[in-house]
Structure 1
Amino acid sequence: MIIQRHDQDITTPTGTMRCTVYRPQAEGRFPCVFFYSEIFQQTAPIARSAAIMAGHGFVIIVPEVFHELNPIGTVLGYDDEGKDKGNNDKFTKPLESYDSDTVAMLTYFEQQDYCTGQFGSMGVCLGGHLAYRAALNPRIQAAFCLYATDIHSNTLPCQAGNDSFTRTKEIQAELVMVWGKQDPHVPTEGRQKIYQQLVETDRLFSWYEVNGQHAFMRDEGDRYDPALALEYYAKAVALFQRTLNKAV
Protein backbone atom coordinates (compact mmCIF):
# COMPACT_ATOMS: atom_id res chain seq x y z
CA MET A 1 0.00 0.00 0.00
CA ILE A 2 1.05 3.57 -0.68
CA ILE A 3 0.82 5.59 2.52
CA GLN A 4 0.41 9.18 3.60
CA ARG A 5 1.69 11.00 6.67
CA HIS A 6 0.53 14.00 8.66
CA ASP A 7 0.99 15.51 12.11
CA GLN A 8 -1.92 15.89 14.48
CA ASP A 9 -1.69 17.83 17.73
CA ILE A 10 -4.14 16.61 20.36
CA THR A 11 -5.03 17.83 23.82
CA THR A 12 -4.04 15.78 26.87
CA PRO A 13 -4.39 16.57 30.58
CA THR A 14 -0.66 17.36 30.67
CA GLY A 15 -0.51 19.54 27.55
CA THR A 16 -0.55 19.39 23.78
CA MET A 17 0.87 16.18 22.33
CA ARG A 18 1.96 15.87 18.72
CA CYS A 19 1.08 12.60 17.06
CA THR A 20 2.37 11.67 13.62
CA VAL A 21 -0.15 9.61 11.68
CA TYR A 22 0.90 7.14 8.98
CA ARG A 23 -1.97 5.59 7.06
CA PRO A 24 -2.90 4.12 3.69
CA GLN A 25 -3.73 6.55 0.88
CA ALA A 26 -6.57 4.23 -0.08
CA GLU A 27 -10.10 5.23 0.86
CA GLY A 28 -11.64 3.41 3.77
CA ARG A 29 -11.30 2.80 7.48
CA PHE A 30 -8.40 0.95 9.03
CA PRO A 31 -7.46 -0.36 12.49
CA CYS A 32 -5.27 1.94 14.58
CA VAL A 33 -2.02 1.04 16.32
CA PHE A 34 -0.31 3.37 18.77
CA PHE A 35 3.42 3.02 18.08
CA TYR A 36 5.49 4.15 21.05
CA SER A 37 9.06 5.22 20.42
CA GLU A 38 12.24 4.73 22.38
CA ILE A 39 13.55 7.59 24.55
CA PHE A 40 14.73 9.57 21.50
CA GLN A 41 11.15 10.20 20.28
CA GLN A 42 10.38 10.05 16.55
CA THR A 43 13.75 9.47 14.95
CA ALA A 44 14.22 8.41 11.33
CA PRO A 45 14.28 4.68 12.25
CA ILE A 46 11.02 5.06 14.19
CA ALA A 47 9.45 6.86 11.22
CA ARG A 48 10.53 4.07 8.87
CA SER A 49 9.15 1.41 11.22
CA ALA A 50 5.83 3.23 11.37
CA ALA A 51 5.72 3.48 7.58
CA ILE A 52 6.40 -0.24 7.18
CA MET A 53 3.53 -1.12 9.49
CA ALA A 54 1.13 1.40 7.92
CA GLY A 55 1.78 -0.09 4.49
CA HIS A 56 0.12 -3.30 5.67
CA GLY A 57 -3.24 -1.62 6.16
CA PHE A 58 -3.06 0.10 9.53
CA VAL A 59 -3.28 3.63 10.87
CA ILE A 60 -0.03 3.94 12.81
CA ILE A 61 0.03 6.76 15.36
CA VAL A 62 3.38 7.84 16.81
CA PRO A 63 2.97 10.11 19.85
CA GLU A 64 5.74 12.29 21.22
CA VAL A 65 6.17 10.36 24.44
CA PHE A 66 7.83 13.24 26.35
CA HIS A 67 5.61 16.03 25.05
CA GLU A 68 5.37 17.66 28.48
CA LEU A 69 9.14 17.96 28.76
CA ASN A 70 10.22 19.21 25.32
CA PRO A 71 9.13 21.63 22.59
CA ILE A 72 6.84 20.07 19.99
CA GLY A 73 8.86 18.32 17.31
CA THR A 74 11.85 17.48 19.50
CA VAL A 75 13.94 14.55 18.30
CA LEU A 76 16.92 13.48 20.39
CA GLY A 77 20.13 12.26 18.82
CA TYR A 78 21.55 8.76 19.09
CA ASP A 79 24.50 10.13 21.04
CA ASP A 80 25.49 10.65 24.66
CA GLU A 81 23.71 14.00 24.87
CA GLY A 82 20.49 12.55 23.46
CA LYS A 83 20.72 9.46 25.63
CA ASP A 84 21.25 11.50 28.78
CA LYS A 85 18.32 13.80 27.98
CA GLY A 86 16.05 10.92 27.05
CA ASN A 87 16.87 8.95 30.20
CA ASN A 88 16.30 12.04 32.32
CA ASP A 89 12.89 12.48 30.69
CA LYS A 90 12.11 8.80 31.19
CA PHE A 91 12.75 9.02 34.91
CA THR A 92 10.80 12.29 35.19
CA LYS A 93 7.46 11.52 33.54
CA PRO A 94 5.12 9.39 35.70
CA LEU A 95 3.35 6.37 34.28
CA GLU A 96 0.01 7.98 35.08
CA SER A 97 0.70 10.64 32.43
CA TYR A 98 1.20 7.97 29.76
CA ASP A 99 -2.16 6.53 30.80
CA SER A 100 -3.88 9.85 30.20
CA ASP A 101 -2.02 10.21 26.88
CA THR A 102 -3.47 6.87 25.78
CA VAL A 103 -7.00 7.92 26.76
CA ALA A 104 -6.58 11.18 24.84
CA MET A 105 -5.47 9.31 21.71
CA LEU A 106 -8.32 6.82 21.96
CA THR A 107 -10.82 9.65 22.36
CA TYR A 108 -9.47 11.60 19.39
CA PHE A 109 -8.77 8.86 16.89
CA GLU A 110 -11.94 6.85 17.42
CA GLN A 111 -13.77 9.86 15.97
CA GLN A 112 -11.72 10.01 12.75
CA ASP A 113 -13.33 8.74 9.59
CA TYR A 114 -10.22 6.75 8.61
CA CYS A 115 -10.27 4.65 11.82
CA THR A 116 -12.39 1.56 12.46
CA GLY A 117 -12.34 2.01 16.23
CA GLN A 118 -10.18 -1.09 16.70
CA PHE A 119 -6.95 -0.30 18.60
CA GLY A 120 -3.63 -1.98 19.28
CA SER A 121 -0.27 -0.89 20.64
CA MET A 122 3.34 -1.51 19.68
CA GLY A 123 6.66 -0.17 20.85
CA VAL A 124 10.41 -0.59 21.22
CA CYS A 125 12.56 -0.18 24.35
CA LEU A 126 10.73 2.38 26.55
CA GLY A 127 8.01 2.14 23.91
CA GLY A 128 7.76 -1.61 24.47
CA HIS A 129 6.92 -0.85 28.08
CA LEU A 130 4.44 1.83 27.00
CA ALA A 131 2.74 -0.59 24.60
CA TYR A 132 2.40 -3.02 27.52
CA ARG A 133 1.17 -0.18 29.72
CA ALA A 134 -1.36 0.92 27.10
CA ALA A 135 -2.83 -2.59 27.20
CA LEU A 136 -4.07 -1.85 30.72
CA ASN A 137 -6.75 0.13 28.90
CA PRO A 138 -9.51 -2.28 27.85
CA ARG A 139 -9.84 -0.53 24.47
CA ILE A 140 -6.43 -1.94 23.44
CA GLN A 141 -7.02 -5.35 21.91
CA ALA A 142 -3.44 -6.44 21.18
CA ALA A 143 0.04 -5.27 22.12
CA PHE A 144 3.37 -6.07 20.45
CA CYS A 145 6.15 -5.26 22.91
CA LEU A 146 9.78 -5.29 21.78
CA TYR A 147 12.52 -5.46 24.44
CA ALA A 148 10.40 -3.57 26.94
CA THR A 149 12.51 -1.88 29.59
CA ASP A 150 11.76 -1.09 33.25
CA ILE A 151 8.80 -3.47 33.69
CA HIS A 152 10.77 -6.02 35.70
CA SER A 153 12.66 -3.42 37.71
CA ASN A 154 9.79 -1.00 38.46
CA THR A 155 12.13 1.93 37.83
CA LEU A 156 9.70 4.37 36.21
CA PRO A 157 7.97 6.87 38.50
CA CYS A 158 4.40 6.09 39.51
CA GLN A 159 2.09 6.01 42.48
CA ALA A 160 2.54 3.11 44.89
CA GLY A 161 1.08 -0.10 43.47
CA ASN A 162 0.49 1.45 40.04
CA ASP A 163 3.55 0.00 38.33
CA SER A 164 3.04 -2.00 35.15
CA PHE A 165 4.39 -5.28 36.59
CA THR A 166 1.95 -5.28 39.50
CA ARG A 167 -0.99 -4.38 37.26
CA THR A 168 -0.30 -7.13 34.70
CA LYS A 169 -3.36 -9.03 35.90
CA GLU A 170 -5.59 -6.25 34.48
CA ILE A 171 -4.41 -6.69 30.88
CA GLN A 172 -7.12 -8.17 28.66
CA ALA A 173 -5.32 -7.65 25.35
CA GLU A 174 -3.38 -10.37 23.59
CA LEU A 175 0.32 -9.74 24.20
CA VAL A 176 3.39 -10.58 22.17
CA MET A 177 6.64 -10.14 24.12
CA VAL A 178 9.94 -10.07 22.19
CA TRP A 179 13.37 -10.05 23.84
CA GLY A 180 17.00 -10.10 22.80
CA LYS A 181 19.00 -12.57 24.90
CA GLN A 182 22.05 -10.33 24.58
CA ASP A 183 20.16 -7.27 25.87
CA PRO A 184 21.77 -5.98 29.09
CA HIS A 185 18.78 -3.75 29.87
CA VAL A 186 16.52 -6.74 30.56
CA PRO A 187 18.70 -9.59 31.82
CA THR A 188 17.66 -13.22 32.06
CA GLU A 189 16.35 -12.77 35.60
CA GLY A 190 14.21 -9.83 34.52
CA ARG A 191 12.72 -11.70 31.58
CA GLN A 192 11.97 -14.70 33.78
CA LYS A 193 10.25 -12.46 36.31
CA ILE A 194 7.92 -11.01 33.66
CA TYR A 195 7.25 -14.43 32.12
CA GLN A 196 6.28 -15.86 35.50
CA GLN A 197 3.98 -12.93 36.20
CA LEU A 198 2.19 -13.45 32.88
CA VAL A 199 1.79 -17.16 33.59
CA GLU A 200 0.61 -16.69 37.16
CA THR A 201 -1.97 -14.08 36.13
CA ASP A 202 -3.14 -16.29 33.23
CA ARG A 203 -2.67 -13.65 30.53
CA LEU A 204 -3.02 -14.42 26.81
CA PHE A 205 0.50 -14.02 25.44
CA SER A 206 3.22 -15.26 23.11
CA TRP A 207 6.86 -15.11 24.15
CA TYR A 208 9.96 -14.89 21.96
CA GLU A 209 13.61 -14.74 23.01
CA VAL A 210 16.07 -14.31 20.15
CA ASN A 211 19.82 -14.06 19.74
CA GLY A 212 19.76 -10.30 19.40
CA GLN A 213 20.91 -7.20 21.19
CA HIS A 214 18.92 -4.31 22.54
CA ALA A 215 17.45 -2.26 19.66
CA PHE A 216 17.99 -5.02 17.10
CA MET A 217 15.04 -3.55 15.14
CA ARG A 218 16.64 -0.10 14.78
CA ASP A 219 18.03 0.25 11.27
CA GLU A 220 20.86 2.55 12.37
CA GLY A 221 23.84 1.49 14.42
CA ASP A 222 25.82 -1.68 14.90
CA ARG A 223 23.13 -3.61 16.80
CA TYR A 224 20.70 -3.76 13.86
CA ASP A 225 19.80 -7.28 12.71
CA PRO A 226 17.90 -6.99 9.41
CA ALA A 227 16.83 -10.64 9.30
CA LEU A 228 15.40 -10.53 12.80
CA ALA A 229 13.73 -7.20 12.10
CA LEU A 230 11.99 -8.59 9.02
CA GLU A 231 10.80 -11.63 10.97
CA TYR A 232 9.33 -9.54 13.77
CA TYR A 233 7.67 -6.98 11.54
CA ALA A 234 5.89 -9.97 9.98
CA LYS A 235 4.82 -11.24 13.40
CA ALA A 236 3.51 -7.79 14.36
CA VAL A 237 1.53 -7.52 11.14
CA ALA A 238 0.07 -10.98 11.68
CA LEU A 239 -0.97 -10.16 15.25
CA PHE A 240 -2.79 -6.97 14.31
CA GLN A 241 -4.38 -8.38 11.17
CA ARG A 242 -5.82 -11.24 13.22
CA THR A 243 -6.95 -9.26 16.26
CA LEU A 244 -7.96 -5.86 14.84
CA ASN A 245 -9.54 -6.61 11.45
CA LYS A 246 -13.04 -7.15 12.75
CA ALA A 247 -16.34 -6.20 11.22
CA VAL A 248 -17.44 -2.67 12.16
Structure 2
Amino acid sequence: MRTETLQIPTADGTADAFAAHPGDGGRHPGVLMYMDAFGIRPVLREMARELAGHGYFVLVPNVFHRTGPAPVVRLPEHIGEKDRDELISRLMPLINEHTAERTLSDADAYLDFLTARPEVAPGPVGVTGYCFGGLLAMRTAAAHPGRVAAVAAFHAPVAADGPGLFTPVTARVHLGHAEGDLTPQDLDALGRDLDAAGVDHTSEIYPGTVHGFTMADTDAYDAAGLQRHWDRLLPLLAATLTDG
Protein backbone atom coordinates (compact mmCIF):
# COMPACT_ATOMS: atom_id res chain seq x y z
CA MET A 1 0.00 0.00 0.00
CA ARG A 2 1.27 3.45 -0.90
CA THR A 3 -0.07 6.76 0.40
CA GLU A 4 0.77 10.25 -0.82
CA THR A 5 -0.07 13.88 -0.22
CA LEU A 6 -0.68 15.45 -3.62
CA GLN A 7 -1.34 18.93 -5.01
CA ILE A 8 -4.13 19.34 -7.56
CA PRO A 9 -4.15 22.46 -9.77
CA THR A 10 -7.62 24.02 -9.95
CA ALA A 11 -9.09 27.19 -11.41
CA ASP A 12 -8.97 28.72 -7.92
CA GLY A 13 -5.53 27.65 -6.76
CA THR A 14 -4.04 24.40 -5.59
CA ALA A 15 -6.05 21.78 -3.73
CA ASP A 16 -4.17 19.50 -1.36
CA ALA A 17 -5.26 15.88 -1.46
CA PHE A 18 -4.63 12.49 0.10
CA ALA A 19 -4.18 9.48 -2.14
CA ALA A 20 -3.91 5.76 -1.46
CA HIS A 21 -3.30 2.98 -3.97
CA PRO A 22 -1.89 -0.56 -4.09
CA GLY A 23 1.59 0.64 -5.07
CA ASP A 24 2.31 -2.53 -7.01
CA GLY A 25 3.33 -0.91 -10.29
CA GLY A 26 0.02 -1.80 -11.94
CA ARG A 27 -2.86 0.35 -13.11
CA HIS A 28 -6.06 0.31 -11.11
CA PRO A 29 -9.51 1.90 -11.41
CA GLY A 30 -9.75 5.41 -10.02
CA VAL A 31 -12.11 6.46 -7.24
CA LEU A 32 -12.73 10.06 -6.24
CA MET A 33 -13.71 10.19 -2.55
CA TYR A 34 -15.39 13.34 -1.31
CA MET A 35 -14.86 14.14 2.37
CA ASP A 36 -17.54 14.91 4.91
CA ALA A 37 -17.81 18.37 6.45
CA PHE A 38 -15.07 17.68 9.02
CA GLY A 39 -12.58 17.11 6.22
CA ILE A 40 -9.45 15.07 5.64
CA ARG A 41 -8.26 13.53 8.91
CA PRO A 42 -7.05 10.14 10.17
CA VAL A 43 -10.40 8.35 9.92
CA LEU A 44 -10.91 9.44 6.31
CA ARG A 45 -7.36 8.47 5.40
CA GLU A 46 -8.01 5.04 6.90
CA MET A 47 -11.18 4.65 4.83
CA ALA A 48 -9.24 5.57 1.70
CA ARG A 49 -6.56 3.01 2.57
CA GLU A 50 -9.22 0.36 3.15
CA LEU A 51 -10.77 1.03 -0.24
CA ALA A 52 -7.37 1.12 -1.96
CA GLY A 53 -6.61 -2.28 -0.47
CA HIS A 54 -9.36 -3.69 -2.69
CA GLY A 55 -7.50 -2.60 -5.80
CA TYR A 56 -8.30 1.08 -6.40
CA PHE A 57 -6.47 4.37 -6.68
CA VAL A 58 -8.36 6.56 -4.22
CA LEU A 59 -8.08 10.36 -4.35
CA VAL A 60 -9.45 12.43 -1.46
CA PRO A 61 -9.27 16.17 -2.23
CA ASN A 62 -9.60 18.93 0.33
CA VAL A 63 -12.71 20.63 -1.01
CA PHE A 64 -12.15 23.59 1.33
CA HIS A 65 -8.79 24.32 -0.33
CA ARG A 66 -9.78 27.94 -0.99
CA THR A 67 -9.59 28.48 2.78
CA GLY A 68 -6.32 26.63 3.26
CA PRO A 69 -4.78 23.16 3.51
CA ALA A 70 -6.45 20.45 5.57
CA PRO A 71 -7.41 20.56 8.33
CA VAL A 72 -9.05 23.95 7.92
CA VAL A 73 -10.26 23.85 11.54
CA ARG A 74 -8.63 22.20 14.52
CA LEU A 75 -10.38 18.90 15.27
CA PRO A 76 -10.35 16.82 18.45
CA GLU A 77 -9.35 13.16 18.16
CA HIS A 78 -12.97 12.26 18.85
CA ILE A 79 -15.84 14.53 17.79
CA GLY A 80 -18.44 14.33 20.51
CA GLU A 81 -21.80 16.02 20.85
CA LYS A 82 -20.29 18.96 22.74
CA ASP A 83 -17.81 19.58 19.92
CA ARG A 84 -20.15 19.07 16.97
CA ASP A 85 -22.23 22.25 17.25
CA GLU A 86 -19.20 24.52 17.56
CA LEU A 87 -17.39 22.83 14.68
CA ILE A 88 -20.43 22.91 12.41
CA SER A 89 -20.96 26.61 13.16
CA ARG A 90 -17.41 27.25 11.96
CA LEU A 91 -17.68 24.97 8.93
CA MET A 92 -21.17 25.90 7.74
CA PRO A 93 -20.01 29.11 6.01
CA LEU A 94 -17.51 27.04 4.03
CA ILE A 95 -20.20 24.53 3.11
CA ASN A 96 -22.55 27.30 2.00
CA GLU A 97 -19.79 28.91 -0.06
CA HIS A 98 -19.18 25.64 -1.89
CA THR A 99 -21.77 26.31 -4.57
CA ALA A 100 -22.70 24.04 -7.44
CA GLU A 101 -20.50 26.18 -9.68
CA ARG A 102 -17.49 25.65 -7.41
CA THR A 103 -18.27 21.94 -7.21
CA LEU A 104 -18.23 21.59 -10.98
CA SER A 105 -15.11 23.67 -11.47
CA ASP A 106 -13.27 21.57 -8.91
CA ALA A 107 -14.71 18.31 -10.25
CA ASP A 108 -13.21 19.03 -13.66
CA ALA A 109 -9.80 19.47 -12.04
CA TYR A 110 -10.11 16.45 -9.77
CA LEU A 111 -11.19 14.10 -12.57
CA ASP A 112 -8.51 15.37 -14.95
CA PHE A 113 -5.87 14.89 -12.26
CA LEU A 114 -7.12 11.45 -11.23
CA THR A 115 -7.39 10.00 -14.72
CA ALA A 116 -3.98 11.36 -15.72
CA ARG A 117 -2.19 9.48 -12.95
CA PRO A 118 0.00 6.70 -14.37
CA GLU A 119 -1.30 4.32 -11.68
CA VAL A 120 -4.92 4.75 -12.83
CA ALA A 121 -6.40 2.47 -15.45
CA PRO A 122 -8.14 3.98 -18.48
CA GLY A 123 -11.89 4.17 -18.45
CA PRO A 124 -14.56 5.68 -16.21
CA VAL A 125 -14.09 6.18 -12.49
CA GLY A 126 -16.16 5.80 -9.36
CA VAL A 127 -17.15 8.64 -7.05
CA THR A 128 -18.17 8.31 -3.43
CA GLY A 129 -18.99 10.90 -0.80
CA TYR A 130 -20.02 11.34 2.81
CA CYS A 131 -22.35 13.95 4.32
CA PHE A 132 -22.32 17.00 2.03
CA GLY A 133 -19.61 15.20 0.05
CA GLY A 134 -22.32 12.85 -1.18
CA LEU A 135 -24.06 15.79 -2.82
CA LEU A 136 -20.76 16.77 -4.42
CA ALA A 137 -20.41 13.20 -5.70
CA MET A 138 -23.87 13.34 -7.31
CA ARG A 139 -23.15 16.74 -8.86
CA THR A 140 -19.91 15.35 -10.28
CA ALA A 141 -21.68 12.35 -11.82
CA ALA A 142 -24.38 14.58 -13.32
CA ALA A 143 -21.77 16.86 -14.91
CA HIS A 144 -19.63 14.00 -16.25
CA PRO A 145 -21.91 11.16 -17.34
CA GLY A 146 -19.28 9.72 -19.66
CA ARG A 147 -16.52 9.70 -17.06
CA VAL A 148 -18.30 8.43 -13.93
CA ALA A 149 -19.60 4.86 -13.91
CA ALA A 150 -20.51 4.51 -10.22
CA VAL A 151 -21.70 6.87 -7.50
CA ALA A 152 -22.19 6.10 -3.82
CA ALA A 153 -23.34 8.62 -1.23
CA PHE A 154 -23.77 8.03 2.49
CA HIS A 155 -25.79 10.10 4.97
CA ALA A 156 -25.86 12.71 2.22
CA PRO A 157 -28.36 15.42 1.21
CA VAL A 158 -28.48 14.25 -2.39
CA ALA A 159 -31.93 15.74 -2.97
CA ALA A 160 -30.83 19.25 -2.00
CA ASP A 161 -30.52 20.43 -5.63
CA GLY A 162 -33.92 19.06 -6.64
CA PRO A 163 -34.81 16.14 -8.93
CA GLY A 164 -33.35 17.85 -11.99
CA LEU A 165 -29.87 16.94 -10.73
CA PHE A 166 -30.53 13.26 -11.43
CA THR A 167 -31.55 13.57 -15.09
CA PRO A 168 -28.04 13.55 -16.63
CA VAL A 169 -26.72 10.76 -14.39
CA THR A 170 -25.80 7.58 -16.27
CA ALA A 171 -23.73 6.02 -13.48
CA ARG A 172 -25.02 3.21 -11.30
CA VAL A 173 -25.93 4.71 -7.93
CA HIS A 174 -26.15 3.55 -4.32
CA LEU A 175 -27.51 5.80 -1.58
CA GLY A 176 -27.14 4.79 2.06
CA HIS A 177 -29.26 7.00 4.29
CA ALA A 178 -29.19 7.47 8.04
CA GLU A 179 -32.41 6.52 9.77
CA GLY A 180 -32.20 9.88 11.53
CA ASP A 181 -32.01 11.80 8.23
CA LEU A 182 -34.80 10.36 6.13
CA THR A 183 -38.34 9.11 6.74
CA PRO A 184 -39.72 6.16 4.76
CA GLN A 185 -41.94 8.67 2.96
CA ASP A 186 -38.90 10.75 2.02
CA LEU A 187 -37.17 7.60 0.78
CA ASP A 188 -40.14 6.74 -1.42
CA ALA A 189 -40.25 10.25 -2.87
CA LEU A 190 -36.53 10.17 -3.63
CA GLY A 191 -36.92 6.78 -5.28
CA ARG A 192 -39.68 8.11 -7.52
CA ASP A 193 -37.45 11.00 -8.60
CA LEU A 194 -34.57 8.65 -9.38
CA ASP A 195 -36.89 6.32 -11.31
CA ALA A 196 -38.31 9.23 -13.29
CA ALA A 197 -34.78 10.24 -14.26
CA GLY A 198 -33.98 6.68 -15.36
CA VAL A 199 -31.18 6.25 -12.82
CA ASP A 200 -30.07 2.67 -12.11
CA HIS A 201 -30.00 2.83 -8.33
CA THR A 202 -30.41 1.31 -4.93
CA SER A 203 -31.45 3.59 -2.08
CA GLU A 204 -32.02 2.45 1.47
CA ILE A 205 -32.18 3.56 5.06
CA TYR A 206 -29.57 1.88 7.23
CA PRO A 207 -31.39 0.72 10.38
CA GLY A 208 -30.53 2.31 13.69
CA THR A 209 -28.18 4.93 12.25
CA VAL A 210 -27.88 8.69 12.66
CA HIS A 211 -26.22 11.26 10.46
CA GLY A 212 -22.48 10.61 10.16
CA PHE A 213 -22.67 6.90 10.98
CA THR A 214 -19.67 5.95 8.81
CA MET A 215 -17.20 8.11 10.72
CA ALA A 216 -15.48 6.20 13.54
CA ASP A 217 -14.14 9.36 15.18
CA THR A 218 -17.60 10.75 16.00
CA ASP A 219 -20.43 9.95 18.40
CA ALA A 220 -22.56 9.17 15.35
CA TYR A 221 -20.46 6.13 14.44
CA ASP A 222 -22.28 2.85 13.97
CA ALA A 223 -20.08 -0.19 13.28
CA ALA A 224 -22.89 -2.13 11.60
CA GLY A 225 -23.71 0.87 9.45
CA LEU A 226 -20.10 1.25 8.33
CA GLN A 227 -19.91 -2.44 7.45
CA ARG A 228 -23.17 -2.21 5.49
CA HIS A 229 -21.58 0.73 3.64
CA TRP A 230 -18.63 -1.47 2.59
CA ASP A 231 -21.01 -4.29 1.70
CA ARG A 232 -22.76 -1.96 -0.75
CA LEU A 233 -19.84 0.12 -2.01
CA LEU A 234 -17.39 -2.65 -2.90
CA PRO A 235 -19.77 -4.69 -5.11
CA LEU A 236 -20.92 -1.50 -6.83
CA LEU A 237 -17.36 -0.56 -7.78
CA ALA A 238 -16.45 -4.13 -8.75
CA ALA A 239 -19.43 -4.32 -11.09
CA THR A 240 -18.83 -1.00 -12.83
CA LEU A 241 -15.07 -0.37 -12.94
CA THR A 242 -12.37 -2.38 -14.65
CA ASP A 243 -8.58 -2.42 -14.75
CA GLY A 244 -8.75 -1.43 -18.38
With normalisation by structure 2, the TM-score equals 0.89
| 1:72 CA drift (Å) | 1.5
What percent identity do the matched residue pairs reach? Answer: 24
Give matches, 1:93-242, under 5 Å. 93-117=98-122, 118-136=124-142, 137-138=144-145, 139-149=147-157, 151-152=158-159, 154=160, 163=161, 165-183=163-181, 186-211=182-207, 212-242=209-239
Q: C-alpha distance in 1, partners of 2:70/2:224?
A: 31
Name the structure, 1 or 2, with higher relative contact order (CA <8 Å, separation 6+). Answer: 2
| 1:164 CA drift (Å) | 5.7
- For structure 2, which runs of at least 5 residues remain unmatched after alignment? none
After the TM superposition, which parts of structure 1 deviate over 6 Å for at least 4 consecutive aligned residues? Answer: none
Q: C-alpha distance in 2, partners of 1:190/1:86?
A: 26
- Aligned CA RMSD, in angstroms, stands at 1.7
- For structure 1, which runs of at least 5 residues remain unmatched after alignment? 155-162
Residues paired across the two proteins, number: 232
Aligned to 1:67: 65
| 1:187 CA drift (Å) | 4.5
Structure with higher helix content: 2
Q: C-alpha distance in 1, partners of 2:11/2:162?
A: 21
Note if contact 2:187-2:203 (Cα within 8 Å) is conserved in structure 1. no
Q: 1:15 to 1:188 in 2, by over 3 A?
A: farther
Q: Structure 1 residues 70-79 or 91-100, which shifts more?
A: 70-79
Deviations 1:137-188 (A, max 9, x none): 1211100111112x33x3xxxxxxxx363221110111001112223xx455
Q: Structure 1 residues 75-84 or 201-210, which shifts more?
A: 75-84
Amino acid at match of 1:9: Q
